[in-house]
Amino acid sequence: MVPCPELHKEHLRPVTPSNWTLRQVSEDDHRRFTAEGWWVEESLGQRLYARLAQHADLAFVCHSSSRPWRGTFGEVLDLSARVATGLASRGVGPGDVVSFQTPNWIEGAATFYAAAMLGAVIVPIVHIYGGRELSYILRESKPRVHVTASRFGRQDYLSNLGAIEDLGGMDVVVVDAEAPPGMTSFRDLAGGPPIGSAAAVDPSSPALVGWTSGTTSNPKGVVHSHHTILAEVKQLGATATPDGRPALIANPISHAIGMLSALLIPVDRGRPVHLLDLWDPAVVLELLVKEDLTTNGGATYFLTSLLEHPDFTEEHLGRLAYQGMGGAPVPRAIAERASALGITVYRMYGSTEHPSITGCTYADSLEKRLATDGPVLPGNEMRLVDADGHDVGPSEPGEILSRGPELFLGYTDPELTAKVFDADGWYHTGDVGILDDEGYLCITDRISDVIIRGGENISAAELEEVLLGMPGVAEVAVVAAPDERMGEHAAAVIRMLAGHPFPELSDVRGHLERNGLARQKWPEELVQVEDFPRTASGKVQKFVLRSSLRSR
């Protein structure tokens, strides 16, 4: 083993990339979160190193038709510690950025753990992101090392990288193919001896950046510290159900849900890890029985695709006893259908910025679980305010404001950070909800213009910008339309220039693909209009468009 680059305790300091301007947590909050046990003097890497060693005999499995892997936590620790040595030899230390873009493969998990052990800032990039998103994220994050698959499905990651004019001296590591000239193979990266400990860094420093599509046309970089991530691990780790089976996780480990559900919470609690790189209901149903697994819920699509599959039987039903739903709107009809089958469904509310704000548990009443997103969770605070910032009463709609130990530090873009935090540290979510008399929240709308399809955020602004480049398109508004399977999908409402034919959906999708937009962002329906409903100042009234789609 080799020693890990380490800062002596008396020299610990927050390490923040110079171009990020993040919020300062108040001394009162720091004392409270520490006193209540949410914040501890331990880094993410130190926690992971210790838990992987503590539970060395537990299974860690990556189910994949192309890159299957089966081993133990101890073997994952050894691989990750070797990757850490390889990263350190390339200059990675506390505060440096390491990015990765892989499916749910062992190499992605090992990169995550290795970067954490070095005290680096981890930048997971969702594997379905195309060249447009990748270029922006790399430019904003400035990683010292980027670990990538060569290709997966329709994505050619190396071609996407090759189209970027300036990689800024970034080292590229390829996990599933021979490395092209100037790049490194993952095998070589992991070829040295393992580090013997995790680096000590100030836990208030940035630990990772989650990238999420939002109200802006480019993805938003959501910065979390070691404190906030470990607080979220504690928060969700306390919501265990009576079902002791391990969960099969197909949510991307580069997304908050998958990262927490597979890479962090099971390791912290000492539970086996089972990853799946591609959601195929037939494969999932087979694995549930073969490996005696359950699923972790998430967006409604993951549950409904199993219930609707012809291979679904009573044997599978018994392995889906508890399903925590969130990440996208949860239609009551779907929750009622699952409940009628004997599945205990419960809803939660949060975001990449504040992962768990409210939540029901499996023990709540049926009506609360079906109709609400639960009460505010321990350690958190929440307010609902009107347009003037005044608190609203029970059953009155208001924007949701939150604070708490898992709340992010800010965005990589300081202008976005300034927009969502007020002087008292409240995070303005942009979501609208109501509270009942018992303090249970129900989400009713969103101020921000985001479509949430199967748990993934789609930026309407990004789609509109690209669609306006199509010949004959005069004006376009992208809004959310209800979807029984995915919760929502994108609908493009288009006004054409006179004399130009209305495009076919295949034409629109071809245009978006040529412009590098990920497939899951493409609209699933087109609506032609002669003109849009507008405000007095000429702005398109998107809420009117959404309402008309919902009332069909």
The pLDDT of residue 535: 56
Whether the per-residue pLDDT at 332 is higher than 80: the answer is: no
The pLDDT of residue 3: 53
The first and second tokens of residue 35, run together, are 């006193």
Query: Residue 103: which pLDDT band, with cuts at 50, 70 and 90?
Result: very high
Label the pairing between strands 427-435 and 441-446.
Answer: antiparallel
Q: What is the mean pLDDT of residues 148-175?
A: 92
Using CA atoms, how far apart are residues 315 and 121, in angstroms rounded to an integer? 43
The pLDDT of residue 154: 87
Q: What is the mean pLDDT of residues 173-192?
A: 95
All domains in the chain, ordered by first residue: 41-237 (3.40.50.12780), 450-550 (3.30.300.30)
Query: Residue 522: which pLDDT band, with cuts at 50, 70 and 90?
Result: very high
The pLDDT of residue 536: 47
Q: What is the mean pLDDT of residues 21-45?
A: 94
Strand partners, 73: none
The enclosing H or E element of 147 equals strand 145-148
Query: How do residues 341-368 score in pLDDT, each as one tens digit?
Result: 999 999 999 999 999 999 999 999 999 9
Coil, helix or strand at residue 347: strand
Query: How do residues 37-69 score in pLDDT, each as one tens digit?
Result: 999 999 999 999 999 999 999 999 999 999 999
| Phi–psi pair at 507, nearest 5 degrees | -65, -45
Query: Residue 216: which pLDDT band, with cuts at 50, 70 and 90?
Result: low
Nearest CA-CA partner of 174 in 97, 101, 259? 101
User: Which of 1-15, 313-327, 343-357, 466-480 shows the lowest mean pLDDT across its residues?
Assistant: 1-15
User: Which of 216-225, 347-356, 388-397 shows the lowest mean pLDDT across its residues?
Assistant: 216-225
Query: How do residues 239-249 score in pLDDT, each as one tens digit?
Result: 878 888 999 99
Whether the per-residue pLDDT at 308 is higher than 90: the answer is: no
